[in-house]
Amino acid sequence: MASEAVVPQEKKVSLRTLSAVPAEVWQQILSDINDKTLRAVVLARCPASPQAVRLLWKDITPENGKLTTLYHNIEHNQQSLANHVQSITMLFEAPGEQLPTCSLMFPTLQRLRIVHNKKHKDVFTNTHAHIKTLLGPALTLLEIGSEDHEGSDAKPRVDNFLSTLKQCVNLHTLSIRACVQGSPAQFVQALRDCGNLKNLTLDKHTAPLVTPFAFKAIGSHPKLASLKVNKVVDMTLVSPISGLNAPFPSLSSLDLIIEADAVLTLLPDIQNLRSLRLVVIGTTSIFPAFSNLATLERLELQFDKFSLTRKDYTQLTFLVHLTHLELDGHAEDGSGLNTDMIDGISLANVLSQLPALQLFHLSANNTFDDEFLVALGRGCPKLTSLSFSGSFELVALCPESGVVFPQLLDLQISNVTSVNPWMDEVEEYELAADIADAVRKHAPRLSTFHSTSKERPFHTMLAYKVGGAWRQKTTRLSLLDGAQE
Q: Mean of the pLDDT values across residues 218-232?
A: 95
pLDDT at 372 over 70: yes
The pLDDT assigned to 348 comes to: 94
Q: Looking at per-residue confidence, does 72 or 192 come out higher? A: 192
The pLDDT assigned to 485 comes to: 54
Q: Name the most confidently modeled range: 88-102, 113-127, 462-476.
A: 462-476
- C-alpha span between 220 and 217 (Å, rounded): 5
- C-alpha span between 227 and 219 (Å, rounded): 10
Give pairs for 368-372: CB < 8 Å, separation 24+. Answer: 368/344, 368/392, 369/344, 369/393, 369/396, 370/394, 370/395, 370/396, 370/397, 371/344, 371/345, 371/396, 372/344, 372/345, 372/347, 372/348
The pLDDT assigned to 463 comes to: 83
Q: Looking at per-residue confidence, does 76 or 158 come out higher? A: 158
pLDDT at 199 over 80: yes
Q: Mean of the pLDDT values across residues 4-31?
A: 54
pLDDT at 149 over 80: no
pLDDT tens readout for residues 288-338 = 999 889 999 999 999 988 999 999 999 999 999 999 999 998 654 445 888
pLDDT at 390 over 80: no
pLDDT band at 6 (very low <50, low <70, confident <90, very high): very low
Q: Mean of the pLDDT values across residues 401-411?
A: 92
Q: Looking at per-residue confidence, does 214 or 7 come out higher? A: 214
DSSP string, 389-438: EEEE--GGGTT--S-S-TT--EEEEEEE--S-TT--HHHHHHHHHHHHHH
Share of the chain above pLDDT 70, in %: 79
The pLDDT assigned to 119 comes to: 64
Mean pLDDT of the chain: 83
Residues of 315-352 as b/e, b for ≥16 C-beta within 10 angstroms? Answer: bbbbbeebbbbbbbbebeeeebbbbeebebbebbebbb
The pLDDT assigned to 467 comes to: 86
The pLDDT assigned to 382 comes to: 96
Q: Mean of the pLDDT values across residues 207-225?
A: 95
The pLDDT assigned to 456 comes to: 52
Can you give the length of the chain in residues?
Answer: 485
pLDDT tens readout for residues 337-359 = 888 888 889 999 999 999 999 99
Can you give the pTM of this predicted structure? 0.86
Residue 386: strand pairing partners: 360, 411
pLDDT tens readout for residues 408-447 = 999 998 888 877 777 788 888 888 889 889 899 999 999 9
- C-alpha span between 12 and 17 (Å, rounded): 9
pLDDT tens readout for residues 37-58 = 666 766 666 666 667 777 778 8
The pLDDT assigned to 383 comes to: 97
